[in-house]
Amino acid sequence: MIEEFETLAATGPRIWAIGGGKGGVGKSVIAANLAASMARTGIRVVLVDADLGGANLHTLLGMPTPRINLSDFIARRVTSLADVMAPTPIENLWLVSGAHALLEMANPNFGQKGKILRHISALDADHVILDLGAGSAFNVLDFFLVARRGILVVVPEATSVENAHHFLKAAFFRKLKRAQPRRQVRAAIGQVMANASQRDLRTPRDLISKVMAVDPDAGAALVAEASTFNPSLIVNRAEHAEHQRLGEDMGAACRDYFGIRLECLGTLPTDRLVVRSVSQRSPATELYTQSPFVAAVRGVAERLASPQWRIA
């Protein structure tokens, strides 16, 4: 299912998934402001509220609860995800809402998830931004991994940084499980786990190295899969220079622990106008165009929209 989606997504809109290791880090606010900023430049953007257990993007965009939402699509009351797209008050921006979705929508089954992913890749848009639920449930991880780039939001607090690390670890191992041929890779991993001590397997890099030693083909498959894991980071609510360095510090930690590159797309400053914009039910990019937060969001949006920007 994931491999099929990746083939479709190669010719469809650019898809960005915004996740967070914990709730309350500003993920939905960032998703709404990024989408609005991109749309105002003439780019056609679809914002998908994939926080299936607690969708609220319609509120942040100043919209009434959409009449049609993802539950209608899953229940086949509408035939296409395009039928769920609702125009927002912002030109070139549409919302696919998860509001008032059925309880079971928080955990779609394999077939439902595949259907959602296939239709997302066929949307008539330039960019699709997925606002994911918090945490590292398998469904959240799968949406994060199938995007052109998964973007993790973190705030400069110990609990947020710790949860972000747990999220990346879960996503990384979920990614490795897709390495082919799966049976051979699983057998090699099982052999390593049965014979290695905990001290020998302190990091995912250690695991891949040990698998390479017992089965070079399986090890090469893991290396190839790991090389396509390219998450990015947005640091939110930065207040001083130390917070500005958080993205760089987390990137260095990921190189050492996972052997991957974690790129920091931007650092967004603490801005009281963001809180005010939420109360006013409109993105800060619409209300406070000269604010520091909006300037930083525009910088991230420009990077994502740039045709020169590619996955490293």
Helix (H) or strand (E) run with residue 54 in it: none
Q: Determine how many CB atoms are found less than 10 A away from the CB of residue 213.
A: 11
Could you tell me whether strands 93-96 and 85-87 are parallel, antiparallel, or unpaired per DSSP bridges? antiparallel
What's the rounded mean pLDDT across residues 240-255? 92
Structural domains in the chain plus CATH codes: 2-161+235-305 (3.40.50.300)
Burial code (b: 16+ CB inside 10 Å, e: under 16) for 3-34 equals eebbeebeebbbbbbbbbbbeebbbbbbbbbb
Residue pLDDT, tens place only, 176-198: 999 999 999 999 999 999 998 88
pLDDT band for 11, please (50, 70, 90 cuts): low
Residues belonging to the chain: 312
Predicted structure pTM score = 0.92
What's the rounded mean pLDDT across residues 13-37? 95
Q: What is the pLDDT of residue 308?
A: 64
Instruction: Read off the amino acid at residue 256.
Output: D
CA-based end-to-end distance of the chain:
24
Residue linked to tokens 């917070």: 243
What is the distance between the alpha carbons of residues 271 and 146, in angstroms, rounded to a whole number? Answer: 32
